[in-house]
Structure 1
Amino acid sequence: MHKRSLHSVVTTICLLALSLAAAEGGRAVAEAAFDEFVSRNFAALAKRFSPEMAAALPAEKAAAQLGPVVDSLGRQVGPRPEPRLSLAGGMEVYIFPCEFEKARVNLLIAVNAAGQVAGLRLLPPDPAAVEPGELAVVTGDVRLPATLTLPEGKGPFPVVVFIHGSGPHDRDETVGANAPFRDLAEGLAARGIASLRYEKRTRQYPGRAVATVKDEVMDDVLSAVALVGNRSEIDPKRIYLLGHSLGGYLIPRLAPLVPAAAGFIMLAANVRPIEELAADQIKYLGAPPETLSQLKQSAPASYWEDLTNYDPVAEARKISAPLLVLQGERDYQVTMKDFEIWRTALAGRPNVVMRSFPKLNHLFLEGEGKSLPAEYGRPGRIPDYVLDEIAAFVNGRRTPQSAP
């Protein structure tokens, strides 16, 4: 049991009922839907919609709503593009990088397990960025495949090193149909900021035991910082650490180990113990009470003892470098209760900037009303105002305390 990642149980809580099974023939459905969209065959396209999609965009309204969109793009240039595929959230999510007469866009088409179109939307084109091949974050005999995303132009650039949240994540921190770290990497590159993201140790080596968060997370973060610090494209005086969820929780503990860091960014960072968060999530979702005991049994005693001795507030108060704390107000995994504790603890500190966003969930994706796990199965993108906030912080600018 101890060889399991501690956070695999937390991930199960968080993603309750999300399936990762892919639909057979999903690509054929997506390609047919793409052709029908660009050829304005909206009646045929609407027949492919899932019940939820059909309710949102009834067949009789499809032409009226989609027609002007196609008109604004103009004629498709060249053959149908090769799509990128993500298998998540019970769906196959295809992103077609499109070239039209009047615009470059990405067309996202999500196909559910029944072979129905469950999502159709236009996304911004991929930013002008250079990905200089496969790198690796190396810690002893651990080798984690990594991606360094660079802005277009001449460096050296500031860089943000991403630190995963709970669970055995890939480098994009894929959850359901979404990839928050990839969104951040692309958005920051478009704003002149490089980033490094890598496979988490518990994903790359699922059978290897971790005794503490030092083994699970921290050692690899230090190796990642060393990697980017030695790259000619990177300004070694402008290295920032960005932690999401568990990664944000560990920022205060990491800070003294990276004294040369230019600043730190905490997204949806808990301040309360993991067990307390898990108990709240179980109650919120109506999950079986025994899930909490499974969590406690999923790691050795050394893991829990180590975290018991960690006081994130006390450590955060020691940080003198710039610190940005961001929170989604619809987040049920790390709630505004945690954000308010941070706000109170760090009040009046000139190096700290804090923002919360009313529409955002734990993945920093927009929504309305109560946030639920099924929301993670719907493809989305991190909003520009979040990317602008992070870019302003990295570039030394303070933005007004407001957000949509």
Structure 2
Amino acid sequence: MKICIRFLFAIICLLSVQLHAQIDGTWYSNLSTQGIHIPLVFHFEATENNQWTGKLDSPEQKSFGIPIDKVSFKNDSLQLQIKALGISYEGKLIEGQIQGVFKQGALAAKLDLDRTKKQVEEKKLNRPQEPQPPFPYHEEEVQFLNKKDSIWLAGTLTYPKNKTNFPIVVMISGSGAQDRNSEILGHKPFLVAADYFTRNGIGVLRYDDRGTAASEGDFSSATSKDFMEDVYAAVEFLKNDERFTSNTIGLYGHSEGGMIAPLLADSYKNTVDFLVLLAPPTIPISELMLKQQELVSLSSGIGSDEIALNAQINKAAYQIINQHEIDQIESLAENLNTYFKSVTAEYPEIGGSMGLTNEQYIKTMVSAYTNPWMVYFLKYKPENYLKNLELPILAIFAEKDMQVSAKENADKMKSIILKKNKKNEVITFSKKNHLFQTSETGDVSEYAEIEETISEEVLQKVKNWVLSLN
């Protein structure tokens, strides 16, 4: 039978268009994790040779057009990767909906993509503390080089007018890829804090994390130690500026940033003059993570039996991680794979409780716990670095904090630093959450709803303490 070549070509073209049309365009989703609901919007576009490009919007975080590094769609399976943010996604097209799993660092959550826009409702967020120009101080866009990793980091330097001998702080963000404002859910805590401090006579350098916004580098492959080198580059940049040769320089770190600051001060002796630590992890990180999981689970209404089971599973995984060196990722993956197979054998329903098959559960857990950042993080013991420091330290905790619990961490901090320097202070603010917003419950679901970005009471304490050192 003779087939018309032109007709066959037309059929092939039609099939190609239909395949492209399956995901071409805009998809909506709602990421739910730890009580927070974050609308996400994905845009996919077909290119030549059946390749794809994509972009991601996070409307509530005012982030639009984030490039997706990898978009693969084959046999109804979608794979995405955003390296700078440590994000990956795997899903399957089923009856017009993409059903899959979203991962970012240790976070793994079921995420379905739909073409129906009603899933995403953008809220108008009121942020009364966000400063507006003109500003009564100097503001400069700067770049500085991390010589160790050969990457340029971009940031903003603010400092008082008509004043020379003022202290300067370098701001260090918490976990996750963040811009220089440490923006989260419409809040810009580093911008608000930098404005407050600079108006009150303290210079501030804040910068985009590596691989984020205007900074170079690969965030997804970096550990806390790598981030420390970025902070060191920021400090050296200030020290090499002839305008600031007589200024004292300190570090202002939040959460993981409050862990990185002592690491730098211990690793590079006499590099900085003081530390301001907000919600700094102080107990061993493996213990902190278990406590965090317990508090967040309780606030989410998860039953005590399930909390106990999750703690048992994770504690055993942490022990396996602590038996391996940071460079033994391959053998760690093998041992974790064996371990999580035993978990699914003993608890066959565990994958389903997370909306995953057991195979997906095993893969997700092994992937999360072999991430270089996670391995370094879980093996970290803050006391090993804090105990060596003689410089002034202000450590601030929040009573309602569910991520770095105040009691355990503040008590440990007091036992380590209070006798080291008479200027050292450890304070716990009442009715404050992990972001140091005034909060009733401390639940992470409140972060976006609270209009306050960071308590002025906390900012005032930091300001007064830093200025008292001069």
Which TM bucket (shorter chain)?
0.5 to 0.7
- CA drift at 1:138: 3.6
Aligned to 1:163: 172
AA of the residue aligned to 1:18: I
Which residue of the partner structure matches residue 258 of structure 2?
248
Q: Contact conserved, 1:131 with 1:147, CA < 8 A, in 2? A: yes
Q: In the TM superposition, what is the alpha-carbon distance from 1:211 to its structure 2 partner?
A: 5.5
What is the CA–CA distance in structure 1 between the aligned matches of 2:59 and 2:436, rounded to whole Å? 17
2:409 aligned with 1:338, yes or no? yes
Q: Report the residue type matching 1:277 in the other structure.
A: L
| Secondary structure at 1:325 match in 2 | strand
Aligned to 1:49: none
Residues 249-268 of structure 1 aligned to structure 2 (within 5 Å): 249-256=259-266, 257-268=268-279
Measure how far apart 1:12 and its partner are. Answer: 8.2
The CA distance in 2 between the partners of 1:20 and 1:345, in whole Å, is 43
With 366-375 and 152-161 compared, the bigger mean Cα shift is at: 366-375
Match of 2:154 in 1: 145
| Preserved CA contact (<8 Å) 1:211 1:299 | no
In the alignment, is the contact (CA less than 8 A) between 2:137 and 2:199 conserved in 1? yes
Change (3 A) 1:12 1:188: farther
Match of 1:229 in 2: 239
Residues 268 and 362 in structure 1, CA contact (< 8 A), matched pair in contact too: yes
Offset at 1:320?
A: 0.8
Structure 1 residues 116 and 318 mapped into 2: Cα distance closer, same or farther (>3 Å)?
A: closer
Please, which of 126, 130, 140 is the counterpart of residue 132 of structure 1?
140
Stretches of structure 1 lacking an aligned partner (at least 5 in a row): 1-10, 23-86, 94-111, 399-404
- 1:239 paired with 2:243, answer no
What does residue 180 of structure 1 align with?
A: 189
1:368 to 411, 433, 440: 440
Return the alpha-carbon distance in structure 1 between the equivalents of residues 159 and 265 of structure 2: 24
Does the 8 Å CA contact 1:343/1:354 hold for their aligned counterparts?
Answer: yes
Could you tell me how far apart the structure 1 residues matched to 2:222 and 2:62 are?
A: 36
User: Which of 384, 387, 395 is the equivalent residue of 1:325?
Assistant: 395
What amino acid is aligned across from residue 90 of structure 1 in structure 2?
Answer: E
TM-score, normalisation: structure 2: 0.56
Give the CA deviation at 1:147.
Answer: 0.7
Distance 2:121 2:371 in 1: 44
AA paired with 1:187? Y
- How has the CA–CA distance of structure 1 residues 370 and 315 changed in structure 2, closer, same or farther, with 3 Å as cutoff? closer
Q: How many angstroms does 1:245 deviate by? A: 0.4
Cα distance in structure 2, aligned partners of 1:278 and 1:198:
27
State the TM-score, normalizing by the size of structure 1: 0.65
With 349-358 and 321-330 compared, the bigger mean Cα shift is at 349-358
- Written as runs of structure 1 = structure 2, the 5 A alignment for 1:7-26 is 16-19=36-39
After superposition, the C-alpha distances for 1:336-365 in whole angstroms (9 at most, x for unaligned) are 122222123334342411111112211111
The answer for the alignment partner of 1:31 in structure 2 is: none
Contact 1:18–1:373 under 8 Å retained in 2: no
In structure 2, C-alpha distance between the alignment counterparts of 1:115 and 1:314, rounded to whole Å: 45
Residue pair 1:324, 1:352 contacting (<8 A) in 2 also: yes
2:170 is equivalent to residue 200 of structure 1: no
Superposed CA deviations along residues 117-166 of structure 1, whole A, max 9, x for unmatched, are 55475767655122123434444431121110112223243210011110
The structure number with the bigger radius of gyration is 2
Provide the rounded CA distance (Å) in 2 between the counterparts of 1:254 and 1:197: 16
Aligned partners of 1:135 and 1:148 also within 8 Å: no
Secondary structure of 2:441's aligned partner: coil
**Pick aligned residue for 1:298 from 354, 361, 368:** 368
Give me the whole-angstrom Cα distance separating, in 1, the residues matched to 2:123 and 2:273.
47
1:374–1:340: structure 2 CA closer, same or farther, 3 Å change rule? Answer: same
Aligned-residue Cα RMSD (Å) equals: 3.5
- Letter paired with 1:321: L
Aligned residues: 305
Give the residue type in structure 1 aligned to 2:36. Answer: L
Partner of 2:316: none
Structure 2 residue 391 is matched with structure 1 residue 382: no
Q: Which runs of 5+ in 2 are unaligned?
A: 1-30, 43-56, 64-118, 303-309, 311-350, 355-360
**1: CA distance between counterparts of 2:32 and 2:246?**
38
